[in-house]
Amino acid sequence: MLKTAKENSKKVLSELIDNLSETEAYTAKKFVEFLLVESKKRDDKIIEILLNVPEEDEAISEGELKEIEEARSDVKRGNVKSLETYKNERGL
C-alpha cells in the first residue's frame, strides 16, 4: 500500500503544480530544489561516514562464529522472515 502511495505521489504533485499560480510555482520549485540539495548533502555525509569507518581489527570470537553458523543454517532451512513480515509483527 505504501508503495502505491509513493508511486502516485509524483502524479499528484504534478496535478497540484498545474493548479498553482506562477508565483506559487516558483516558490514550489525553489523548495523542491532545496529538498534535492539537502538530500544530496545527506547522502554525501552517509557515504563519507561509511568510507571512513575504521577497519575491524578485532578477531571474531568463538561465540560470534557459532552465531554466524546458526544464522547461515537458518537461511539454508528457510527459517527466515521477510523484512515486511518482521515490521508487521512489531507494528512498524
Tell me how far apart the alpha carbons of residues 48 and 43 are, in angstroms, rounded to a whole number: 9
Predicted local confidence at residue 58, as pLDDT: 83
Query: Which residue range is the domain that position 14 belongs to?
Result: 2-89
pLDDT in tens, 10-55: 889 999 999 999 999 999 999 999 999 999 999 999 999 988 888 8
Q: Region 44-73: what's the mean pLDDT?
A: 91
Q: Region 86-92: what's the mean pLDDT?
A: 92
Q: Is the pLDDT of residue 1 over 60?
A: no
How many helices (H) and strands (E) the chain has is answered by 4, 0
Global pTM reads: 0.44
Total domains, the chain: 1
Q: Is the pLDDT of residue 2 over 60?
A: no
Predicted local confidence at residue 90, as pLDDT: 93
Tell me how far apart the alpha carbons of residues 9 and 3 are, in angstroms, rounded to a whole number: 10
Nine cell digits for residue 48: 563519507
